[in-house]
Structure formats: structure tokens, C-alpha cells
Amino acid sequence: MSEQNVILEKITAIIRDLFDEYDGPVTMETTANDVAQWDSLSHVRLMVMIEMELGVHFSTSEMQSFKNLGDLVNAAAKQVG
């Protein structure tokens, strides 16, 4: 579980940087709908930034299949762990 927390923390930092107008909470349940700036273009940027930061790799269909941040964190955790 702590692995997930570390990853979520790193992702939170990226999200704060990328979506500078958003100041709501970032949790495992956060979805794109919660963040006004989170559109398809920034979604791709976010994914690639996370890939670079964590040293992981997502397939395109994976990127489109995450239902919330939790899915994303779990998928990243699998690769990191």
C-alpha cells in the first residue's frame, strides 16, 4: 500500500504542476471530470510525464482505460514493483 502512496504523491505533484488552476483534492478516486483543465491533450501529456517520472510505460489502450487515478496508480505500481 505504501508503494501506491508514494506513486500517488509523485503523480499529485505532476498534476499540481500541469493543472495549475485546480486546487481540489487529488485522491485515488479523482477523475478527469473533476479537473476542468484535464482534456484529451493534457491527458496525453500527463501520461507521458508520469511515464518519464516513474520510468514506466503505458500502452495507448491502457491510457484510455483508466477509470480514475486509482487505476493508473495500480497499473504503475505493477510495473515499478
* Beta carbon nearer to another protein, 2 or 15: 15
The cell numbers describing 55, all together, are: 520510468
Residue 2 interacting with another protein (CB under 8 A): no
Phi, psi for 41 (deg, rounded to 5)? -65, -50
CA angle 66, 60, 79 (to 5 degrees): 65
**Binding letters toward another protein, positions 8-47, x by CB under 8 A:** -------------x---------xxx----xxxx-xxx-x
DSSP type of residue 1 = -
* Beta carbon nearer to another protein, 4 or 32: 32
